[in-house]
Amino acid sequence: MSAAENKKLVQDAFAAWARGEGNAVFNLLADEVHWTVIGSTPVSRTYFSKREFVDGAVKPLSEKISGAIQATVRDISADGDKVIVQWDGRASGKNGTLYNQTYCWVMRLEGGKVREGTAYLDTELVSQLWK
């Protein structure tokens, strides 16, 4: 797929998330995705499958917040098989912490699926959800 096609896939998935279809972005992940969450938070590490990532990062984070993260895209860039998304995620932690996160996801797509990804974010903000 071209860079423009990869970018559109990601744009459409984030647009669906903004409409309340939270799984749209995660549906782009290949079953054997390698996804890294930077830092030393309870969810920071490299995951070697979609299931491992969802079970090890997405679900635990979701359990710490009230409701869904409201995603707002700042920018999406694409070059070849790489797509970079800068976005804001807003939610409230069940412990009272405001979760106003800024993310930068760098992803490599192949055949319309994310094969590799790295999530850059404010790791201290994530850790605050566990306190």
% residues pLDDT > 70 (the chain): 100
Side-chain half-sphere CA neighbours of 39 within 13 A: 16
Domain hosting residue 76, numbered range: 3-128
Q: Token pair for residue 92?
A: 């409230």
CATH number for position 86: 3.10.450.50
**Does position 129 have pLDDT exceeding 90, yes or no?**
yes
Instruction: Output the average pLDDT for the chain.
Output: 96
Read off the pLDDT of residues 13-25 as tens digits, 9 standing for 90 and up: 999 999 999 789 9
Strand partners, 107: 83, 117
Q: Give the pLDDT confidence score for residue 22 in this predicted structure.
A: 79
Summary count for the chain: helices (H), strands (E): 5, 6
**Mean pLDDT, residues 61-76 taken together:** 95
**Mean pLDDT, residues 58-66 taken together:** 96
Q: Residue 19: count other Cβ atoms within 10 Å of its Cβ.
A: 9
Q: How many domains, in total, are found in the chain?
A: 1
